[in-house]
Amino acid sequence: MATSPPEPTEAAAAPTLRTTARPWTLVRAALGGPREIAGKAHRAVRTLRLWLDAAEVERRLATLAARGLAPARPTRLQLLFGGLDMLRFLIEPGARDYYRSQGISFGFHQLLRVLDDPVSMIDPTGFFSARDTVIGHLMQVTHLNPIYDVQLLQALPDGLDELERQLRQMLAGTHPRRRTIGAIVEDPGYHARLLAYVEAYRRDPASAAPPVREQALRADPHFAAAERTFATLPGFLDYAARLPRDLRSLVRRARALRAFPLDEAVAARPRDGAAAGR
């Protein structure tokens, strides 16, 4: 492998476009030009195909099981409703709380994310997304904890190789989506920290410490329980597999549930970190 240029340290990292540009400039940058828009359309078509391809979901689950990352094999319906619980009990409240602490408008930030890659917003689990959609989402959002996505990428061809390659491109300023992603990610040191974690994870997953984002909502026991449950891919799959299997029961449960159920939380595990944070 060729020697890579040194990555900037967090202290030396330049401010991102997200923190320096005016709102309209950010909107234009997130939308991109014809090449970027064509890329979004291509990813959208691939995602729609994956939604309809039950065999691909089963292949991913089988690959993860072979790696010891799938203790349970939920159905597609269980994955969908488990993802809904992850979204409403962890991802959305955590993001609101974090961006509020950063002085960033949550609504405007979500608009930028939709403009950069609408596909990543409709699949909170990542199970129905193509490899580059998962990687783009991981680089686009300062995660609570990246471990879920890093584990998920092991079910996709060259997932971790490609993640590392694209992170190096982002740090070198040569990634084809560098401007659209730069219009969204607010933390100038995030990509360097993420690359360091991916390198450590590939050497020894058990000892690699994920970069965990600060989150004031951890004082809420329901939010903390959701974090523990959705911290890793195995935790999410175990939770999803315990949901009802028929659509009517799933819908009834989703309507009735107003907070994450404490009795369904998994126990904290070493190195899980705090949350998946998709």
Would you state the pLDDT for residue 250? 97
- For residue 8, is it within any domain? no
Q: What is the mean pLDDT of the chain?
A: 87
- For residue 11, is it within any domain? no
Proportion of the chain above pLDDT 70, given as a percent: 91
Count of structural domains within the chain: 1
Rounded average pLDDT over 95-107: 90
- For residue 27, is it within any domain? yes
Q: Report pTM.
A: 0.84
Does 5 score more than 70 pLDDT? Answer: no
Rounded average pLDDT over 198-215: 93
Q: What is the DSSP string of the chain?
A: -PPPPPPPPTTTPPPPHHHHS-HHHHHHHHH--HHHHHHHHHHHHHHHHHHH-HHHHHHHHHHHHHTT--S----HHHHHHHHHHHIIIIIHHHHHHHHHHTT--HHHHHHHHHHH-GGGGS-TTSTTS-HHHHHHHHHHS--S-SHHHHHHGGGSTTHHHHHHHHHHHHHHT--TTHHHHHTT---TTHHHHHHHHHHHHHH-TTT----PPP-GGGGSHHHHHHHHHHSSHHHHHHHHHTS-SSHHHHHHHHHH--S--GGGPPPP-TT--S----
Does 106 score more than 70 pLDDT? Answer: yes
Tens of pLDDT, residues 172-186: 999 999 888 988 998
Would you state the pLDDT for residue 118? 79
Does 15 score more than 70 pLDDT? Answer: yes
- For residue 249, is it within any domain? yes
Does 119 score more than 80 pLDDT? Answer: no
- For residue 13, is it within any domain? no
- For residue 201, is it within any domain? yes
- For residue 108, is it within any domain? yes
Lowest-confidence region among 88-97, 106-115, 227-236, 247-256: 106-115
Does 271 score more than 50 pLDDT? Answer: no
Proportion of the chain above pLDDT 90, given as a percent: 55
Tens of pLDDT, residues 207-256: 999 999 888 899 999 999 999 999 899 999 999 999 999 999 999 999 99
Domain span at residue 157 reads: 19-264
- For residue 210, is it within any domain? yes
Lowest-confidence region among 37-41, 61-65, 89-93, 201-205: 37-41
